[in-house]
Chains A and B, each alone.
Chain A
């Protein structure tokens, strides 16, 4: 029966229909649950839940990506916010319910895939089933008569199917009738499908491995400064749960020079063109220094730990002298960019100044305006440093650093301070503060880079699994498992009647051509076709 043949071919790939009712009892119940979990329907529903579950992470701000925006959101939505938080909606991809979805999917996948792997292993060694009786009802069927003998036709069919790399049912197999040939091909379909699904499991293992034993952190580095890979040097550090400080590769580097270029004309004037950082790094304390250029898209790779250039900004360099004429402070202060032209703001805090502590509000304009707009204040007109200028507001009094309350390094708490005045300086200029409180010199404008350091030991496994998955799914979708049969018999006039038929597991356009090719290779088929015309 052809329907049996179709079912047999399909059964290998589609779910086993839940044919019998659950048996009573605990073990039976468990087995029933397992069968439900590993059914195609459950897989489908879990896939849906996975897609649905990923969505809120794009709607609500996420702690991992932007903790500040989560804080703002919680402030703005004081009733809904805490509830959303309770359901993990600010941490979707680390939440227990999201984990439940993908872990269930993975368990279902494993439970579905393992039996199929075993089944496939058996299939690989099995022989194609015998030729069904009624070939006329197969989706592809051709018939013709020829003067060649039955065994000539079967021999030719065997040769042609073999050279087309079909697996043949041995003529000696029990129940095989000598006047027919049964062949099967396309085992790679199933293999590809299994490779794809197994790769998804491996991919998840790789992701988990990487996030467990990896870390990433960011740091602001001013031109000329260095960085050594130790915890204290990071501004922000996110370790995996299995992280230990011994995993910090002992490299170090200095940022010799940083260069940001911007488009000078055209409609996108002022848009960044390229950032380049020249670094000198050592793989460890004793290693020879090496040079490399870091760019966006071109990280530094130190034995698997990667250093990425994320962004940049300006850091004015000041020297502050106090009332006694002593240098109370000197160095570069990174300033936060406020607009695309890099108008940037920061503060300088000088706790050691005598007789009173000093503080400065600083606005940096890499390219200053010809005239300062009194409502907006000084605004840079181009992101590159052409004749940079700083606008200062000076304060004297108590900086409040000893109060124990942690302070924002970019803000001045002026509640216990007295304003001394305002001034703006070009590079090299000095402002003498009133009442003999000292002076401040704008030495130069340095640049700083935002650098991310990341170590992810799982990423090779992830890449490998992803590549295997792509190859697997391509094989699976391009190749179809199909069977081809040739049967001969003798018709009323003593000529040989040949039936050729094909069946593919799912509709497949190329099956017709394949069957035609087999027909064309049989003796007498050519003349039969011409007679028909």
Chain B
């Protein structure tokens, strides 16, 4: 088959992914509407009586999960549909990445469109693959899927480029090392920061619930989310995993820049924003260990981290001129 045909197949797979994800999004929304809400309010009551936590002789988290009334199969139905569809979408987008690679006859990481495609594939695969080990990640479904639909939309509408050869500076094995680490790290950062977004809603709801003054859209959302300590934990664990990897990606990029441009660090806009992202997530890890900064402030920092990452990813290529502005957009 010709390179063009493979590229067409890849595009078709991307469109299918978007459709499947859109349906998955509806399923997760339905799940929020009918399912977790009830379980969630049980959890909030549990949390309020901290004694409940100590009287159970096992770990705090298992205690909470065990004590909450178990969801019925009917309650889980929509979440299950969502997870299955997301699994299908993950498979489709992985196939899209592979066919794109076959079309270009190289790993498909040559321009922003391809980076984005690979990042979506990585994010979805990581999320689906982690579910058996971390069932609590299922509650992130709605926001993870929403985020990926948006990413794919931007990729198709704004970033799309015909499949083609690499420019000379990208012909380096450091590209594969640097890009692989950056894509995995940023996918995991994204999961963590999205958990922090949900944390803000859940935490607000819990605070107001205790004060007996819930109401409004934000609380309606908050009341249907998992408990804030659960979300906080997901955020911390993911960001703690991604941080060293991101650090590594930045260092690998520097080693590569030293070969390509004759200096390991030149404060090019892309480098600057990778640095800013790193420092903000370092601040998040610090905040988690600083009295008075845990919880809400830390979550806000994690969200700023995601904003900085997104800017370093899209904003820099769109707004600034720099050495990294290769491969179109």
Tell whether A pairs with B. Answer: yes
Residues of A at the B interface (CB closer than 8 Å) are: 13-15, 17, 40-41, 43-44, 47-48, 50-51, 54-55, 57-59, 62, 64-65, 92-93, 136-137, 139-143, 207, 216, 263, 266-268, 271-275, 295-299, 306, 308, 310, 452-454, 456, 459, 462-463, 466-467, 469-470, 473-474, 477, 506-507, 509, 511-512
Query: A456 and B263: CB pair below 8 A?
Result: yes
Whether B264 lies near A263 (C-beta < 8 A) is no
Known A-B contacts A41-B293, A51-B279, A51-B308; A58 and B258 likewise in contact (beta carbons under 8 Å): no
Q: How far apart sit A44 and B292, CA to CA, in the bound complex (Å)?
A: 12
Q: Digitize B254-294: 1 where CB-to-A-CB distance is under 8 Å, 0 elsewhere.
A: 11101111111111110011011001101100111111110
Task: Provide the residues of chain A in CB contact with B258, threshold 8 Å.
Answer: 459
Give min CB distance, A374 to chain B, whole Å. Answer: 31
Q: Is the CB of A141 within 8 A of B279?
A: no
**Given the complex of chains A and B, what is the CA–CA distance between A43 and B168 in angstroms?**
41
Known: A47-B286, A207-B265, A477-B244. 16 other contacts (CB 8 A): A41-B292, A43-B286, A57-B267, A59-B320, A93-B267, A140-B59, A266-B162, A267-B161, A267-B162, A268-B165, A274-B168, A296-B171, A308-B260, A459-B258, A463-B251, A463-B255
A50 touches B279 (CB 8 A): yes
Q: How far, in Å, is B136 (CB) from chain A's closest CB? A: 11
* In contact, A273 and B59 (Cβ under 8 angstroms): no
* Contacting pair A58 B168 (CB below 8 A): no
Which of B168, B261, B268 counts the most chain A CB atoms within 10 A?
Answer: B168
List chain B residues, Cβ under 8 A from A310: 261-262
Known: A140-B58, A216-B262, A473-B244. A272 touches B164 (CB 8 A): no
Question: Chain B residue with minimal CB distance to A261?
Answer: B168
Contacts of B267 in A (CB 8 A): 54, 57-58, 62, 64-65, 92-93
- Asked whether B244 lies within 8 Å of A466 as measured between CB atoms, the reply is no
When C-beta atoms are compared, the residue in chain A nearest to B62 turns out to be: A512
Chain B residues with Cβ below 8 Å from A263 are 164-165
A470 touches B316 (CB 8 A): no
Contact B293 A139 (CB under 8 A): no
| A44 pairs with B243, CB closer than 8 A | no
* Known pairs A137-B54, A140-B59, A275-B168; A470 contacts B260 (CB<8 A): no
A268 to chain B: which residues have CB within 8 Å? Answer: 162, 164-165
A and B contact pairs by CB, cutoff 8 A, 24 listed: A14-B290, A15-B291, A40-B289, A44-B286, A44-B287, A44-B293, A47-B282, A48-B283, A54-B267, A58-B273, A64-B267, A266-B165, A267-B161, A274-B171, A275-B168, A296-B171, A297-B259, A299-B259, A308-B259, A453-B262, A454-B263, A456-B263, A507-B233, A511-B59
Number of A-B residue pairs, CB cutoff 8 Å, is 156
What's the Cα separation between A250 and B173 when bound, in Å?
32
A47 contacts B279, CB within 8 Å? yes
Q: State in angstroms the CA–CA spacing of A453 and B259 once bound together.
A: 12
Q: Is the CB of A55 within 8 A of B272?
A: yes
B172 at the interface (CB under 8 A from A): yes
Q: How far, in angstroms, from A161 to B38 measured CA to CA in the complex?
A: 43
Among the listed B247, B259, B268, B283, which residue makes an inter-chain contact with A47, where contact means beta carbons less than 8 Å apart? Answer: B283
For residue A453, which residues in chain B have a CB less than 8 angstroms away from its CB?
Answer: 262
B291 touches A14 (CB 8 A): yes
Q: Are A271 and B167 in contact (CB under 8 A)?
A: yes
Least Cβ distance of B305 to chain A in Å?
A: 9
Q: Is B60 located at the chain interface by the 8 A CB criterion? A: yes
Minimum CB–CB distance for A471 against chain B, Å: 9
B61 CB to closest chain A CB (Å) equals 8
Q: Which residues of A contact B254 (CB under 8 A)?
A: 466
B240, CB-defined interface residue at 8 Å: yes
Distance between Cα atoms of A268 and B168 in the complex (Å): 13
- Asked whether, in the complex, the Cβ of A41 is within 8 Å of the Cβ of B290, the reply is yes
Contact B172 A297 (CB under 8 A): yes
**Interface residues of chain B: helix, strand, loop or mixed (majority):** helix
Given contacts A44-B283, A140-B59, A473-B243, contact A299 B262 (CB under 8 A): yes
Q: Scan B224-255; emit 1 where CB is below 8 A from any A CB, else 0.
A: 00000000010011001101100110010011
- B57 at the binding interface (Cβ < 8 Å): yes
Closest partner residue, chain A, to B175 (CB atom): A297
Q: Which residues of B contact A47 (CB under 8 A)?
A: 279-280, 282-283, 286
With a cutoff of 8 Å between Cβ atoms, the chain B residues found around residue A462 in the complex are: 264
Top 6 nearest A-B pairs (CB, nearest first) are: A267-B162, A308-B262, A268-B164, A58-B269, A452-B262, A51-B279
**Complex: A453 Cα to B261 Cα, angstroms:** 10
Which residues of A lie under 8 Å from residue B266 when comparing CB positions?
Answer: 64-65
Known A44-B290, A271-B167, A473-B244; judge A65-B268 contact (CB<8 A): yes
A15-B290, A65-B267 known; A143 and B283 CB under 8 Å?
Answer: no
A456 to B254, CA, bound (A): 14
Provide the residues of chain B in CB contact with A40, threshold 8 Å. Answer: 286, 289-291
Flag B57-98 by CB within 8 Å of A: 1 or 0 each: 111111000000000000000000000000000000000000
Contacts of B130 in A (CB 8 A): none
Q: How far is the CA of A62 from the CA of B165 in the complex (A)?
A: 31
| Known contacts A47-B282, A136-B57; is-contact A466 B251 (Cβ 8 Å) | yes
Q: Which residue of A lies closest to B60 (CB)?
A: A139
Question: Once the chains bind, are A57 and B272 in contact (CB under 8 Å)?
Answer: yes
Among residues of B, the one whose C-beta sits closest to the C-beta of A62 is B267
CA distance in complex: A190, B63 (Å): 29
The interface bits of chain B over 37-60 (1 if a CB of A lies within 8 angstroms of the residue's CB, else 0) are 000000000000000001001111
Instruction: Report whether B233 and A459 are in contact in the complex, using a CB–CB cutoff of 8 Å.
Output: no
* Distance A266 CA – B52 CA, assembled complex (angstroms): 67
Contact B233 A54 (CB under 8 A): no
A454 cross-chain contacts in B, Cβ below 8 A: 262-263
Please tell me if the beta carbons of A142 and B57 are within 8 angstroms of each other in the complex: yes
Q: Distance in Å from the Cβ of A105 to the closest Cβ of chain B?
A: 10
For residue B169, CB closer than 8 A to chain A, the reply is: yes
Give the CA-CA distance A308 to B269 in the complex, in Å.
Answer: 21
Chain A residue at minimum C-beta to C-beta distance from B269: A58
Interface residue from A14, A141, A297 paired with B168 (Cβ < 8 Å): A297
Which B residues are in CB contact (< 8 Å) with A507? 61, 233, 236
B312 CB to nearest chain A CB (Å): 9
- A107 and B288 CA atoms in complex are apart in Å by 22
User: Provided the pairs A13-B289, A51-B279 are in contact, do residues A473 and B247 lie with their beta carbons within 8 angstroms?
Assistant: yes
| Interfacial chain B residues near A298, Cβ < 8 Å | 259
> In the complex, which residues of chain B have a beta carbon less than 8 angstroms from the beta carbon of A467?
251
